[in-house]
Structure 1
């Protein structure tokens, strides 16, 4: 191992051993020059590449502070042209977010939304679609399972941090239950066409009646497993034990030029925490 790699590894080991929280921002992926794989085969592979590249770059440019100044939270991002939206261009742009929750901690929703707003320099996200934590084998999603996260989203709508909120992979019955219960109604529902090549007629009819937009996606049920996340971190920091790190949430944002329908910017925010023994 050369001196530079040795220094990077020592810095990474010291910082990660001390830290309790890891926050990572990939920056704009529309410029993909930093990624090894130009066209990832799946959203999971794309995210893994992003984590690896961002951590490697960050640790190679980060100077180790004194031991008394070691941070509890690592904010890992690479200096580059900012994704911040200027007030002059805000009306022309739509900011869409999908939030993948890996834990049942509702405070994560507010943290993720605030981080996205701060990064993009906006006071409000145009739409947020929620993907709740995965269920145990054999369990099925219920309204009770969805309610805590939805109530947190509703609070963010009332405080004008989010304009519209949506769901992912709900069938007609569960979407109807959520719609009837919710104070802020879902504006959209994503359907994974890998498991459903044609929109179910009952879902289509219900969505049309209540003005809910049906969207398609190709995200897996689990965007990134704990093992895959740990592998991505470990590949960026050789010989480091990362078994006690857990993903909290992943937020993917897209900035779309309304008049042209093109993506101006796209990126990820990732939050992980160290499990307390």
Structure 2
């Protein structure tokens, strides 16, 4: 980064209150250091660094034009879906909430729809923040986020909603309480090599699809995110940013079952002094 860009980047980061980032299509991994990252967390860190580095290197912003929200993306890397191909593809999303807040869910869904140029996401799986311990506490923990998802289903911004890492009892409690029932539940491969029989039986009875994943419980720590931002911004001294949410999307060609594009959307806010 040349000195002029470095100064402008520092001004942008110092002024901005919100950072929004879109990695672009990762099916083409030419921009990433590691073509085959060992984990989702490692992939996300590489994506944040590469996107910020490319964005700061190619964008010039006047010191007179300092936005409160910094949108970091490369125009040539967008994954917009054309109206002609919309019926041919399925848009699947997993939303990782790094802190509580129902507005984060709506913000993430709206950003995904805008980024992909669609009016509706076909499926959204929620990974809420914090541990899920104790049935009653866990259901109460899930309810606010689920109610927001239900509202987005009613407004037709989402077609189907699912959960992540729920055991049979909690999935049953959620199913019985919810107005819009979960259509899927992800199970972490690291926690069980074989699907629990009681979970399998319940899912089959109520037509809930069981999926597998290998995402870490904490997708990215606050310290790792700040390091990724700092490295992506060429070691600039940065303010204390907190990660709000991470959305991972996949655009799948229905007839062929192949991934046309995948990527991440990230939102962070500057921590209050």
TM-score greater than 0.5 by the shorter chain? yes
Are residue 215 (structure 1) and residue 211 (structure 2) matched?
Answer: yes
The alignment's TM-score, normalised by the length of structure 1, stands at 0.95
Partner residue in 1 for 2:192: 196
Partner residue in 2 for 1:11: 8
Partner residue in 2 for 1:163: 159
User: What's the CA shift string for 1:207-241, capped at 9, x where partnerless?
Assistant: 00000000000000011110110010111224433
Bigger mean CA deviation after superposition, 57-66 or 148-157: 57-66
Match of 1:25 among 8, 22, 33: 22
Give me the whole-angstrom Cα distance separating, in 2, the residues matched to 1:5 and 1:230.
22
Partner residue in 1 for 2:225: 229
SS in 1 for 2:231: helix
Partner residue in 2 for 1:56: 53
Unaligned 5+ segments in structure 2 are none
Are residue 116 (structure 1) and residue 112 (structure 2) matched?
Answer: yes
- RMSD, matched Cα: 1.5
Distance 1:82-1:233 versus aligned 2 partners, 3 A rule: closer
Query: 1:32, CA displacement in angstroms?
Result: 0.8
Contact 2:49-2:233 at 8 Å conserved across structures: no
Partner residue in 2 for 1:142: 138
Distance 1:82-1:235 versus aligned 2 partners, 3 A rule: closer
Unaligned 5+ segments in structure 1 are none
The alignment's TM-score, normalised by the length of structure 2, stands at 0.96
Query: 1:81, CA displacement in angstroms?
Result: 4.9
Write the mapping of 1:36-115 to structure 2, written as runs, cut at 5 A: 36-67=33-64, 69-115=65-111
**What is the total number of aligned residue pairs between the two structures?**
272
Query: 1:243, CA displacement in angstroms?
Result: 5.1
